[in-house]
């Protein structure tokens, strides 16, 4: 296997982008990434997307995006793993380059959710759950997060207010990210008073569904000399799955897939959680941020809310998370999110994260699909 590096990044604004279509967004991100990599062409394109069929009645994104980006008749396919689709596409791009099959590869994550009404978008998103035994009962993705959060509060004796630091931190970081959907800080008091969406999940516990696209360019590390930007190495790429339905899991409050994919990634990179300087985790809900921190070894079971309360997740804390706003404040364009996380890690590792820059050498990103049945972990390292 060859070592793989990221030599180009691109992203669009995240939000309700009425004037741009799914294909427009993907092309914007791809053009930016190619320009950043000083390339005009690649050998393959992997598109991470979950809901183009349901939300814009468009499938077959591999060919469509390659065509509209002017990439010609290259290898191009769409990759789907619910909310982890972008991370899964990166995994495919990584494998293509690491294996020696391709040298220059584009990975794009794109999602367009605001072409349909909120009920339809919500129902489509919930197709990541077990359709026959979860969604059939009127259970949605936020409701499942609510079930996990309520049980967490019950088992570990914490209150809803104890989750406030996750939302407050994300919004504080999003305020300095020009691409973020939400750029206003919020207070713990505002969190406490927020209206319920799916009790105990309030609007400040949940990431917004929105539009966006992000892209990265990969190549073998030995070829990065051709690129003038600081390349960032992919030190680990790992995927694990769990039983799809929460009710089928051995221990609903322990994200087994997140644990396994993180362990595999640590092993591949030869590092441990103590070596990781920042963690772009999947905070689609505050409870998922807590469970992800615990599964990946940054906090003991039931302790993530205390880590957050003590400032451990802030930019100057032990393990900064959501450093550019996370899913909560940057926004969660489902299939694109995994690539946004990577783009933001690359900005941090290049030292180009602006006001949110932290001192870092090793960064980790984790995408969760659905309620955590898929977990994809990547570890990136700044070039020395």
Partner 1 sequence: MNVPRYWRTEQTRYGLIGEVCRACGKPIFPPRDVCPHCTEEGQDVHPFRGKGQVYSFSTIYDAPTGYTEYQPYTVALIKLDEGPLVTAQLTDVDNDQVHVGMPVEMVTRKIKEEGENGLIVYGYKFRPVLDTRPDRF
The residues of the shown chain that bind partner 1, judged by CB under 8 A, are 118-120, 122-123, 126, 130, 132-140, 142-144, 146-151, 154, 196-201, 243, 245-248, 252
Contact 302, 296 (CB under 8 A): no
Nearer to partner 1, 1 or 203 (CB): 203
Q: How far is the CB of 8 from partner 1 (least distance, A)?
A: 38
Count CA atoms within 13 Å of residue 338 on its CB side: 36
What is the residue-wise DSSP string for 102-167?
A: -SSEEEEEEE--TTS-HHHHHHHHGGGS-TTTTGGGT--HHHHHHHHHHHHHHHHT--GGGGHHHH
Nearer to partner 1, 126 or 229 (CB): 126
Nearer to partner 1, 40 or 119 (CB): 119
Q: How far is the CB of 249 from partner 1 (least distance, A)?
A: 8
Q: How far is the CB of 288 from partner 1 (least distance, A)?
A: 14
Nearer to partner 1, 41 or 136 (CB): 136
Q: How far is the CB of 252 from partner 1 (least distance, A)?
A: 7
Q: How far is the CB of 244 from partner 1 (least distance, A)?
A: 10
Q: How far is the CB of 14 from partner 1 (least distance, A)?
A: 21
Nearer to partner 1, 89 or 167 (CB): 167
- Cα(339)–Cα(94) distance, integer angstroms: 13
Q: Strands across the sheet with 374-382, in order?
A: 75-79, 44-48, 105-111, 212-220, 4-11, 232-241, 374-382, 362-369, 278-280
Nearer to partner 1, 209 or 324 (CB): 209
Cα→Cα distances 98→4, 45, 95, 383, Å: 6, 15, 5, 18
- Strand (E) or helix (H) holding 366: strand 362-369
For 255, the token pair is 């994200």
- Cα(130)–Cα(315) distance, integer angstroms: 37
């Amino acid at each position: 296997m060859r070592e793989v590096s990221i030599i180009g990044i691109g992203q669009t604004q995240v939000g309700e982008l009425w004037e741009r279509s799914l294909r427009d967004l993907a092309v914007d991100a791809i053009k930016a990434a190619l320009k950043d990599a000083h390339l005009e062409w690649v050998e393959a394109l992997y598109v991470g997307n979950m809901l183009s069929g349901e939300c814009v009645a468009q499938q077959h994104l591999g060919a469509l995006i390659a065509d509209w980006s002017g990439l010609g008749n290259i290898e191009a396919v769409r990759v789907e793993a619910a909310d982890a689709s972008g991370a899964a596409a990166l995994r495919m791009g990584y494998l293509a380059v690491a294996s020696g099959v391709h040298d220059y590869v584009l990975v794009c994550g794109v999602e367009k959710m605001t072409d349909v009404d909120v009920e339809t978008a919500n129902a489509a998103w919930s197709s990541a759950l077990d359709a026959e035994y979860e969604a059939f009962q009127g259970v949605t993705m936020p409701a499942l997060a609510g079930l996990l959060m309520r049980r967490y509060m019950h088992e570990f004796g914490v209150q809803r207010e104890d989750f406030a630091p996750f939302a407050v931190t994300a919004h504080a970081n999003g305020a300095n990210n020009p691409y973020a959907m939400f750029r206003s800080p919020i207070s713990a008091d505002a969190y406490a008073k927020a209206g319920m969406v799916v009790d105990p999940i309030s609007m400040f516990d949940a990431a917004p569904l929105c539009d966006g696209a992000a892209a990265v360019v990969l190549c073998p590390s030995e070829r990065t000399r051709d690129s003038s930007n600081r390349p960032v190495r992919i030190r680990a790429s790992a995927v694990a799955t769990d039983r799809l339905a929460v009710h089928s899991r051995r221990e609903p409050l322990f994200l087994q897939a997140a644990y396994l994919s993180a362990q595999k990634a640590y092993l591949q990179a030869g590092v441990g959680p103590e070596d990781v300087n920042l963690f772009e985790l999947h905070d689609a809900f505050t409870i998922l941020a807590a469970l992800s921190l615990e599964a990946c070894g940054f906090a003991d079971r039931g302790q993530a809310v205390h880590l957050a309360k003590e400032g451990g997740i802030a930019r100057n804390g032990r393990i900064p998370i959501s450093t550019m706003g996370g899913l909560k404040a940057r926004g969660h364009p489902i299939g694109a999110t995994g690539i946004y996380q990577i783009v933001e890690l690359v900005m941090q590792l290049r030292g180009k994260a602006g006001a949110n820059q932290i001192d870092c050498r090793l960064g980790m990103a984790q995408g969760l699909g659905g309620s955590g049945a898929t977990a994809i972990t990547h570890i990136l390292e700044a070039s020395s």
